[in-house]
């Protein structure tokens, strides 16, 4: 498990997704967007609005069975996107690049963008906004709820 946590709020996700849209604007226009479920759905909605793109497809890759990591399996292919020509693939995060490599094989001509990227997965995407260390676990707003957290100084072994 990761040793560090990075909490992303709804406001921050919106700002970072909008920053990604600014970066992607000059590379478009795009015929459509392929959102990687589930984490890419919200950034895709924000970026679709900012790029004025109304055609949204999805792709679902399953890599975990409960808490056990397995081989990636395409649960729902992005049929409408063909080989990806003129399409934008969006996800919240690229971690190790495992999912990204599967999707790249499905859509080799698409532009791949993520809001956040870790070093191991960074080479598998074309565009991202924020890099975090490999040992950081990002807590997205749909995975968390507000609660008390002890100060860092009290959580570090002395």
65 is in an annotated binding site: no
Is 138 marked as binding a ligand?
yes
Residue 127 burial (CB count, 10 A): 16
Tokens 């598998």, residue?
A: 124
Q: Is 95 a catalytic residue?
A: yes
Q: In Å, what is the CA distance from 132 to each residue of 136, 137, 155? A: 7, 9, 21
Q: What is Dmax (Cα atoms) for the chain? A: 56
The verdict on whether residue 79 carries a ligand-binding annotation is: no
How far, in Å, CA of 146 to CA of 141, rounded? 10
82 is an annotated ligand-binding site residue: no
Is residue 99 part of an annotated ligand binding site? yes
Catalytic residue among 11, 16, 83, 91: 91
Nearest to 24, CA basis, from 44, 42, 51, 43: 51
65 is catalytic: no
Q: Specify the DSSP class assigned to residue 30.
A: -
**Active-site residue 91, yes or no?**
yes
Instruction: Point out the catalytic residue in the list 11, 52, 83, 95.
Output: 95
* Residue 95 · residue 121 · CB < 8 Å: yes
152 is in an annotated binding site: no
Q: Is 84 known as a binding-site position?
A: no
Q: Is 16 annotated as a binding residue?
A: no
Choose the catalytic residue: 16, 83, 92, 135. 92
Q: Is 125 annotated as a binding residue?
A: no
Q: Where in the sequence numbering do the catalytic residues fall?
A: 91-92, 95
- Please report, in range form, the residues annotated as the binding site: 38-39, 91-99, 137-138
- Please report, in range form, the residues annotated as the binding site for Mg(2+): 92
- Please report, in range form, the residues annotated as the binding site for guanine: 95, 138
């Amino acid at each position: 498990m990761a040793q560090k946590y990075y909490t992303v709020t709804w406001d921050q996700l919106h700002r970072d997704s909008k920053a990604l849209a600014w970066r992607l604007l000059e590379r478009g226009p795009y015929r459509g967007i392929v959102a990687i479920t589930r984490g890419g759905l919200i950034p895709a909605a924000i970026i679709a609005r900012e790029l004025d793109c109304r055609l949204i497809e999805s792709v679902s890759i399953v890599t975990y069975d409960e808490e056990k990591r397995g081989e990636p399996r395409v649960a729902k292919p992005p049929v409408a996107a063909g080989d990806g020509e003129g399409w934008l693939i969006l996800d919240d995060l690229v971690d190790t690049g495992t999912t990204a490599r599967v999707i790249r094989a499905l859509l080799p001509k698409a532009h791949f963008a993520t809001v956040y990227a870790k070093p191991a997965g960074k080479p598998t995407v074309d565009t991202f906004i924020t890099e975090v260390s490999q040992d950081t676990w990002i807590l997205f707003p749909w995975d968390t709820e507000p609660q008390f957290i002890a100060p860092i100084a009290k959580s570090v072994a002395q």
